[in-house]
């Protein structure tokens, strides 16, 4: 392919390939160095906001904001968020337990390793020895957990890695076509490399499609694989996605929500019943799936 291109286009082709290579490399270090969103940090943010609220309420009657420097905590799905930003800020324990159904035991969702109450979708990672918000998995290639704080960065990394492998595979095939009869041992090495590249491309494509599915349905790998072992997901039918707000809302939250700690409450029985209702033509016209 490259020998047939003019010199100027060949230079642009090479420059774009190198740009994609360095972008993938940079994205790797960004993802590996980013925080997945630890429960201890979220609890610390809540405590600091409570202290800030008490100081400001003592000095004036104006309610305190829930923003403290770079620490932002948002709560969805219940009255807890309004209480937290209102006149009576809740402690971390009450904040977490209000996200579960009434009567839930604190011990059932307390981490014995970190000694903290875990909000829904959080899990303790034994490799990092910390509880992670919206825990997806621990990536051995990146050396870090994938969670709420870096799942979007991880998706972009595997997207760039897939594109880079596809492009490299095209270059390998082009080289083989141009030099197929020059030296048999070189061809053998290139064929072995091409086989390895094909396996990598298939793996990356499947991984990209799998995580794209998770993003569109607002799930995590841990929730999908261990659904029957997670207490608050056991009674929910397999085809119901309890945290999904629709494809468009899920994409917006995944890509555009800038909150560092985004806590989601468990849906009520009425919400679960609505989510389990089969789609009709009217639902499609009214964009219920979005």
Per-residue pLDDT of the chain (290 residues; tens, 9 = 90+): 555 556 666 778 889 999 999 999 999 999 999 999 999 999 888 878 777 766 776 665 544 444 443 445 676 764 444 344 433 445 888 888 888 888 777 777 888 888 888 999 999 999 999 999 999 999 999 999 999 999 999 999 999 999 999 999 888 888 777 776 666 777 778 788 888 889 999 999 999 999 999 999 999 999 999 988 888 888 888 888 999 988 888 999 998 876 668 888 888 888 888 888 877 766 665 566 66
In a domain, 238, yes or no: yes
In a domain, 61, yes or no: no
In a domain, 96, yes or no: yes
In a domain, 62, yes or no: no
At residue 259, the pLDDT reads 67
Q: Is 255 an annotated catalytic residue?
A: no
The one catalytic residue among 125, 139, 145, 165: 139
In a domain, 237, yes or no: yes
Domain of 114? 2-54+89-286
Tokens describing residue 67 = 């923003």
At residue 3, the pLDDT reads 53
CA-based nearest residue to 210, from 154, 271, 163: 154
Q: 209 by DSSP, 3-state: which? A: helix
In a domain, 65, yes or no: no
The contacts of residue 68 (CB under 8 Å, 6+ apart) are: 45, 48, 49, 52
In a domain, 275, yes or no: yes
Tell me how far apart the alpha carbons of residues 132 and 121 are, in angstroms, rounded to a whole number: 9
In a domain, 249, yes or no: yes
At residue 65, the pLDDT reads 43
At residue 90, the pLDDT reads 58
List C-alpha distances in Å: 177 to 3, 10, 170, 188. 11, 18, 11, 13
Tell me how far apart the alpha carbons of residues 270 and 104 are, in angstroms, rounded to a whole number: 18
CA-based nearest residue to 266, from 229, 238, 241: 241
At residue 182, the pLDDT reads 65
At residue 86, the pLDDT reads 39
At residue 286, the pLDDT reads 56
Report the sign of the C-alpha dihedral through residues 216, 218, 221, 226, in that order: negative
At residue 200, the pLDDT reads 92
Across 140-202, the runs of DSSP E, i.e. the strands, are 144-146
Tell me how far apart the alpha carbons of residues 45 and 37 are, in angstroms, rounded to a whole number: 12
At residue 61, the pLDDT reads 52
Tokens describing residue 273 = 């019943």
Consecutive H or E run containing 282 = helix 281-285
Number of structural domains in the chain: 1
CA-based nearest residue to 135, from 126, 116, 118, 148: 148
């Amino acid at each position: 392919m490259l020998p047939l291109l003019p010199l100027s286009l060949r230079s642009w082709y090479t420059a774009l390939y190198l740009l994609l290579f360095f972008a993938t490399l940079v994205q790797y270090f960004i993802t590996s160095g980013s925080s997945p969103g630890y429960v201890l940090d979220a609890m610390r943010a809540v405590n600091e906001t409570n202290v800030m609220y008490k100081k400001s309420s003592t000095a004036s009657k104006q309610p305190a904001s829930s923003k403290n420097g770079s620490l932002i905590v948002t709560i969805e799905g219940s009255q807890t968020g309004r209480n937290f930003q209102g006149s009576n800020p809740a402690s971390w324990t009450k904040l977490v337990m209000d996200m579960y159904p009434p009567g839930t035991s604190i011990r059932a969702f307390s981490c014995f390793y970190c000694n903290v109450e875990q909000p829904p979708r959080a899990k303790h990672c034994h490799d990092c020895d910390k509880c992670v918000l919206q825990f997806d998995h621990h990536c051995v290639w990146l050396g870090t957990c994938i969670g709420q704080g870096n799942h979007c960065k991880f998706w972009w990394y595997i997207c760039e890695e897939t594109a880079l492998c596809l492009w490299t595979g095209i270059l390998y095939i082009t080289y083989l076509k141009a030099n197929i009869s020059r030296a048999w041992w070189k061809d053998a090495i290139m064929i072995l490399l091409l086989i390895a590249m094909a396996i990598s491309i298939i793996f990356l494509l499947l991984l990209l499609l799998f995580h794209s599915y998770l993003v569109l349905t607002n799930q995590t790998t841990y929730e999908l694989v261990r659904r029957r072992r997670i207490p608050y997901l056991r009674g929910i039918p397999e085809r119901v996605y309890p945290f999904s707000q629709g494809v468009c809302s899920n994409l917006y939250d995944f890509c555009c929500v800038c909150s560092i700690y985004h806590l989601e409450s468990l849906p009520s029985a009425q919400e679960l019943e609505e989510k389990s209702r089969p789609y009709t033509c009217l639902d499609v016209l009214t964009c219920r799936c979005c």
